[in-house]
Structure 1
Amino acid sequence: MQESGDEPASTPESDTGFSELDLALVDALQSAPRATWTQLGRALDIDATTASRRWDRLRSQGLAWVTAYERPHTATVAFVEVRCTPQRFDAVSRALAQLPWVISVEEVAGDFDLLLAVTAADLHSLGRAVHGTIGGLRGVRSTHTRLGLTVFSEGGDWRTHAIPSGSRALLPESRGATRFTYSTHTQTRRTPHDHALRAALGNDGRMSYKDLGAVIGVSEYTARRRLLRMLRDQEITLRCDLAHPLAGYRTSVLYRAAVPHQYLEHTGAALARTDQVRLSISVSGPYNLFVMAWLHDLNGISPFEALLAERFPHLQVHDRTIALHTPKRMGWLLAPDGRALRYVPLALPDRTQH
């Protein structure tokens, strides 16, 4: 065990902002986002003070963060492909990232320009928001919407695999990929306090119960009870995210694929267990499976696709789309190098504006 004043030297790789210990800490927090510093220190074989100081540096520099969001079965979600005029591309991307119901924005190289994840109160509101607000933006040439149906894995399930399984076993709340079906109606928080708690955790998923209580205007005990209830009932999930380009994951690839219905569940779930896969979701339309992979570089694409062909004979890849930049992920605005800049609290589109 390292002494608290004897922190291991930070030795990040030349092209990253993370040391091996930083990545191990992120991995531990991916498994247990609200683990105590003592628990994290025990798993990483470092002092609790060292773990806390490391995390403070990562978070203050925007390299890693813990956030909260709705579980898929409590939300209506769609993935929208947007084509823009070249002259208005930057303006459209910025405008979309500021919309509180646009969860994520990917700028991509492919047969469309932007890929959005969006949410709304229900299917009707979602359609109005996409066609009215997004389609009405100056510079948007067209939109194509695919409803999210079943989640086999999403970003909160992905791991850096920087710690061994024995260390992970020392942590609480460990979980793997879980299958969920999206809802046709987004469930609102039961009380204003629940809504405020979700927003506060979106900005800082490791906020103490005392600070949570102060932010939402309840006691520390009440804040703890409400959060534990929301986690128990799977109303929200917590995840540790990171500036992936600086962590060595410089290539993000989205595959639109088709799988025969009788093999869809098995294939989607098996893909979810593949180390490189960040997202495995069935969607509406003829290409019924979205798969996103994080790879170390472009030269990782060919080996990954060879793996897909070998392990998943029923998977027919329609096309690959490579992300150029992620301006927004799960409510967080990101810099070109992937660092977190600012959190945009989720709010559903106003039905009266469409």
Structure 2
Amino acid sequence: MAFPVVPTPVSGAAPRRPPESAALSETDLALVEALQVAPRAPWTRIAAAVGVDATTAARHWNWLTGHGLAWMTAYASLPGMPVAYIDVACRPERLLAVSARLGASPHVFSIERTAGPHQLLLYVITRDLAGMDAFVTGFLGRLDGISAVRVSLQARTYREGSGWLLHALDSDQRRTLGPRDGPAPQRAPALGDADTRLLRALGEDGRRAYADLARECAMSETTVRRRLARLLHHPEVHFRCDVAQRAAGWPVIATYRLDVPADLLESTGLALAAFRETRLCVAVTGAANLMFSAWIRSTAECQALETRIRRRFPHLRVAERELTLHTIKRMGRLLDAAGRAVGHVPLRAPRPADRR
């Protein structure tokens, strides 16, 4: 399985490096959340919510993206395409080489290096179950250094990263932006080739100008505007404004594998998804049927979070717990040791031809 995709810098050039101790200002945090709520809103609307003028808002965003501290992406989660969370055990001397090889794969959309019996946690999408089997037995099976693999297939999503907010805006500011999600069409049309081209371009920069998108996708600007307006409300399309978590004040990722009685799985998943810290909450296959990942302020908060979960949900059992040492890749963005975006690998589910 060959991967010709070469990671490229997010903005066409290596991001300028802010100081290692750089932290985002209150204005920066408010700006990021405004874009989490209204990803394609004009700068005048974003600025009104943040409390600055439109020129200042745009300048702040350019500074954030130029330094790899925040970025906007778009992607589709198509029904029938399986998503797997794959735990990989790797020999220590091969860990960096294996991580780099996995990071270049367009099928692995996120990678975390973790403290636990498995050193890597992969988030993988394929076209079907046969493709997932081929990825595990073919691609992973050929990587030198891997000693064990455990696959958990996603069964139901209660929350993923595009649903997480920084909580930097107050209620009045959020009202200025309007509702977070527009009305979804009653019958969403299937995504076509033109939509795929548009999403591929938006994957690198979800706020690209209409004229730029029109040139790259070989469409008229009017067509781009019409299709993009539909994609913004399409239930299978996600626009996601991400941030360097350390600079944003959320440096720790805690992931739990939970065993929940089947008849309480739905209610538990929905309730956990509503936690402020929750970045990911999904029902999965395996002995532990619920996977829950949270961004927290410090490692000391892990016990408090777990205690709150156990008290709220006495019926569940914590089967596993682990902390992320380093996020190598998040939804196609390659990250440095400080969590800043330094490259982009476009997402792609394997084609049948990739399974050889």
Alignment partner for residue 110 of structure 1, among 101, 106, 116? 116
Once the 2 structures are TM-superposed, how far is the Cα of residue 247 of structure 1 from its aligned partner?
1.3
Matched residue of 1:262: which SS?
Answer: helix
Distance in 1 between the 2:81 and 2:39 partners?
Answer: 22
Q: Deviations over 1:173-209 (max 9, x none)?
A: 5049x9xxxxxxxx99511x32221111000001122
Which amino acid in the other structure matches residue 316 of structure 1?
A: R
For residues 235 and 89 of structure 1, what CA distance do their matches in structure 2 show? 34
2:328 equivalent to 1:293: no
Shift of 1:231: 3.0
Structure 2 equivalent of residue 269 of structure 1: 270
| Residue pairs, 1:115-194, within 5 angstroms | 115-172=121-178, 174-175=180-181, 189-191=191-193, 193-194=194-195
In the TM superposition, what is the alpha-carbon distance from 1:286 to its structure 2 partner? 1.4
Asked if structure 1 preserves the Cα contact closer than 8 Å seen for 2:231 and 2:237, the reply is yes
1:75 maps to 81
Q: Alpha-carbon deviation of 1:15?
A: 4.2
Which stretch shifts more, 13-22 or 129-138? 13-22
Q: What is the match of residue 314 of structure 1? A: 315
1:341 maps to 342
Match of 1:55 in 2: 61
**Distance in 1 (alpha carbons) for counterparts of 2:334 and 2:176:** 33
SS in 1 for 2:242: strand
TM-score norm. by structure 1 comes to: 0.90
User: 1:238–1:173: structure 2 CA closer, same or farther, 3 Å change rule?
Assistant: farther
| C-alpha contact (below 8 Å) 1:16/1:247 kept by paired residues | no
CA-to-aligned-CA distance 1:40-68 (integer Å, 9 cap, x gap): 11111211111111101001100001101
Matched, 1:200 2:201: yes
SS in 2 for 1:346: coil
Q: What is the rounded CA distance, in whole Å, between the counterparts of 1:143 and 1:110 in structure 2?
A: 13
Larger RCO of the pair (alpha carbons < 8 Å, separation 6+): 2
Q: Distance in 1 between matches of 2:19 and 2:306?
A: 27
* Distance (whole Å) between structure 1 residues aligned to residue 180 and residue 47 of structure 2: 16
Q: Equivalent pairs: percent with the same residue?
A: 42
Q: Report SS of the residue matched to 1:135.
A: helix
Q: Deviations over 1:21-45 (max 9, x none)?
A: 1111111111111111110111112
* Residue pair 2:256, 2:321 contacting (<8 A) in 1 also: yes
SS at match of 1:342: strand
SS of the counterpart of 1:275?
coil
Native 8 Å contact 1:33 1:206 kept in 2: yes
TM-score using structure 2 length: 0.89
Q: 1:328, CA displacement in angstroms? A: 0.5
Q: CA RMSD in A?
A: 2.0
Write the distance in 1 (CA, Å) between the matches of 2:246 and 2:21: 9
User: What is the CA–CA distance in structure 2 between the aligned matches of 1:257 and 1:16, rounded to whole Å?
Assistant: 35
- Superposed displacement of residue 121, structure 1: 0.9
Give the 3 Å change call, closer, same or farther, for CA 196–72 of structure 1 in structure 2.
closer
Decide whether the 8 Å contact of 1:244 with 1:250 is kept in 2: yes
Counterpart in the other structure of 2:72 = 66
CA distance in 1, matches of 2:32, 2:231: 23
> In the aligned structure 1, how far is the partner of 2:72 from the partner of 2:279?
17
- Provide the rounded CA distance (Å) in 1 between the counterparts of 2:164 and 2:150: 27
Partner Cα separation in structure 1 for residue 181 and residue 340 of structure 2 = 26
C-alpha contact (below 8 Å) 1:72/1:151 kept by paired residues:
no
Deviations 1:221-261 (A, max 9, x none): 11111222233332311010000012111110110011101
Q: Which runs of 5+ in 2 are unaligned?
A: 1-17
2: CA distance between counterparts of 1:222 and 1:171? 25
Q: SS where residue 176 of structure 2 aligns?
A: coil
Partners of 1:14 and 1:210 in 2: CA distance? 36
Misfit runs of 4+, over 3 Å: 12-16, 72-75, 350-354
**SS at 1:169's partner residue?**
helix
1:181 maps to none
Partner of 1:7: none
Structure 1: which 5+ residue stretches go unaligned? Answer: 1-11, 179-186
For residue 35 of structure 1, give the secondary structure of its aligned residue in structure 2: coil
**What is the aligned length?**
333
Alignment of 1:221 onto 2:227: no
| Alpha-carbon distance, 1:220 to partner | 0.6
1:330 corresponds in structure 2 to 331
The alpha carbon displacement at 1:278 in A equals 0.8
